[in-house]
């Protein structure tokens, strides 16, 4: 009887409301990923394909300007290649920071580059990056799986 009384309609409603509010509260107050500091630095990217035995090396410069990150990618072996673009942060969801990519300038003498696959992905989806901490070191993992170590350095 005691358990029946504690499980009657009114109490069940109270339980449900408390459960829902506590669940939502715990979800909301759980700290989100730490805000990413302003980015400035160089990084070298390498694209390799073991099947076609191809290799592409690019130097990338990133700089945060007015809440957007400007990137300039060049090819150290081909000075005709220049790719400039802008990453604008859209929002953060489940620890992932979503960006939209806007191309600014693209010049290349070749077609069918492996980096074109990355550019195509950036252009057609809102790209996410997720910070990962290893001790006091901060990594950023991109949606493509690329792993960057902060601070950026060539």
Partner 1 sequence: MNKIYYAVNNWLIDLPSGSIISLVSGERKRLGEYQLKLLNVLATNAGKILSREELTTLVWERRVIGNNSLPNAIHALRAALEDDGKTQKIIKTIPKKGYLLEQDWCRSVEHDSDDIDQPASTTLTDATEEITEETPDASAELLLPAPPEPDSGGIEVTPRSQPDKRSRLQQPLIALAVLIAVMVFSAVAGWRYANEQGSRLIATEQESGVYSNIRIYEISEANRLEMNKEDFYSKIKDTLYAINQQIKPQSISMTVYYQSVDQTLNYTFALQSRCDKKQLVMAIYHWRIDTTQLNNLLLRETRRKLSEMEVCS
Which tokens go with 124?
């057609």
Which tokens go with 72?
């300039």
Binding partner 1 (rule: CB under 8 A), the pick from 34, 123, 125, 132 is 132
Which tokens go with 114?
């492996």
Residues touching partner 1: how many (CB under 8 A)? 52
Matching residue, tokens 């990056």? 129
Cis peptide before 151 (omega within 30 of 0): yes
Least separation in angstroms between CB 67 and partner 1: 23
Report how far residue 127's alpha carbon sits from residue 46's, in angstroms, rounded to the nearest whole number: 19
3-state helix, strand, coil in the chain (%, to 5): 25, 50, 25
Work out whether 93 is an interface residue with partner 1 (CB under 8 A).
Answer: yes
Least separation in angstroms between CB 50 and partner 1: 5
Q: Which is nearer to partner 1, 20 or 123 (CB)?
A: 20
Work out whether 80 is an interface residue with partner 1 (CB under 8 A).
Answer: no
Binding partner 1 (rule: CB under 8 A), the pick from 35, 46, 107, 111 is 46
Which tokens go with 56?
């592409």
Residues of the shown chain interacting with partner 1 in the complex, contacts defined by CB under 8 A: 1-7, 11, 14-15, 18-20, 22-28, 30, 43-51, 53, 93-96, 114, 130, 132-134, 137, 139, 141, 144-149, 152-154
């Amino acid at each position: 009887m005691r358990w029946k009384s504690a499980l009657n309609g009114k109490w069940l409603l109270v339980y449900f409301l408390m459960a829902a509010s506590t669940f939502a509260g715990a979800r909301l107050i759980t700290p989100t990923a730490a805000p990413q500091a302003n980015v400035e630095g160089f990084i070298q990217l390498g694209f390799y394909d073991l099947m076609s035995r191809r290799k592409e090396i690019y130097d990338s410069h990133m700089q945060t300007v007015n809440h957007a990150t400007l990137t300039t990618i060049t090819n150290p072996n081909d000075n005709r290649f220049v790719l400039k673009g802008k990453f604008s942060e859209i929002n953060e969801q489940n620890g992932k920071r979503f960006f939209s990519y806007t191309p600014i300038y693209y010049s290349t003498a070749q077609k069918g580059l492996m980096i074109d696959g990355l550019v195509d992905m950036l252009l057609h989806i809102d790209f996410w990056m997720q910070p990962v901490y290893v001790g006091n070191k901060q990594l950023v993992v991109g949606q493509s799986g690329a792993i960057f170590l902060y601070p950026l350095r060539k």
